[in-house]
């Protein structure tokens, strides 16, 4: 299977960037698609990390305003505008995914990753219209003094940080409080790996 880019132009070059493609691709029946016009959002690649304290059996979560929720909330009021999430950030030039995970955990949650990171997944976010991927980790932290307000003022961040027992975090997933993909995937992974992480830490 192959594809051909006939034309590509940058239609918007702001905080987010939009490229307009004219392309064709092979079809499963052996033919070719018609020439398709597709807009693709280019916003970089993200890293997310679930900070977990296996000794205290607590998960560090954050809450912040997300503008992409506004139109959804207008028609579905049960969908929140302030989201409960895990730590995340965009990879900058010269950074590795692990660099971002450690930097963002300090900036957004006020704690540091202890030791190595566990890779959970590397996945496309919305491949029908965006090139963005997420590299998702779990990182061990000491959650004993975690909490309060964090984030970089120069980036307009206003982040509330809090901890919950792992079982309470799992209940939040079941009752729909965690309604973004990276947090859902990370918490599901923790449900499967929690015992291993605790045993590894001598609990």
- Burial class (CB within 10 angstroms; exposed 0-12, middle 13-18, buried 19+) of 192: exposed
Of 155, 157, 167, 168, catalytic: 155
In whole angstroms, what is the distance from residue 122 CA to residue 133 CA? 7
In whole angstroms, what is the distance from residue 77 CA to residue 107 CA? 30
- Judge whether 155 counts as a catalytic residue: yes
Residue 23's CB is within 10 A of a number of other CB atoms, namely 15
- Burial class (CB within 10 angstroms; exposed 0-12, middle 13-18, buried 19+) of 95: middle
Q: Are 35 and 47 in contact (CB under 8 A)?
A: no
Cα–Cα nearest to 123, from 92, 157, 97, 102: 97
Q: Where are the alpha helices (DSSP H) in the chain?
A: 70-75, 97-109, 166-174, 181-200
Cα 125 from chain centroid?
9
- The residues assigned a catalytic role are 155
């Amino acid at each position: 299977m192959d594809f051909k880019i006939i034309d590509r132009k940058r239609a918007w070059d702001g905080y987010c960037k939009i490229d307009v493609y004219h392309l064709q691709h092979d079809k499963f029946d052996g033919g070719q698609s018609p020439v398709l016009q597709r807009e693709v959002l280019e916003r970089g690649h993200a890293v997310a990390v679930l900070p977990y304290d296996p000794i205290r059996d607590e998960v560090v979560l954050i809450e912040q305003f997300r503008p992409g929720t506004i139109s959804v909330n207008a028609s579905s009021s049960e969908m929140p505008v302030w989201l409960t999430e895990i730590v995340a950030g965009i990879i900058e030039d010269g950074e590795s995914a692990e660099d971002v995970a450690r930097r963002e955990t300090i900036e957004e949650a006020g704690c540091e990753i202890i030791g190595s990171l566990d890779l959970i997944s590397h996945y496309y976010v919305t491949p029908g219209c965006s090139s963005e991927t997420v590299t998702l980790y779990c990182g061990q932290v000491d959650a004993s003094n975690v909490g309060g307000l964090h984030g970089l003022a120069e980036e307009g961040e206003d982040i509330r940080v809090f901890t919950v027992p792992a079982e309470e975090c799992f209940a939040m997933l079941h009752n729909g409080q965690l309604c973004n993909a990276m947090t859902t995937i990370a918490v599901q992974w923790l449900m499967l790996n929690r015992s291993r992480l605790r045993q590894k830490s001598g609990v």
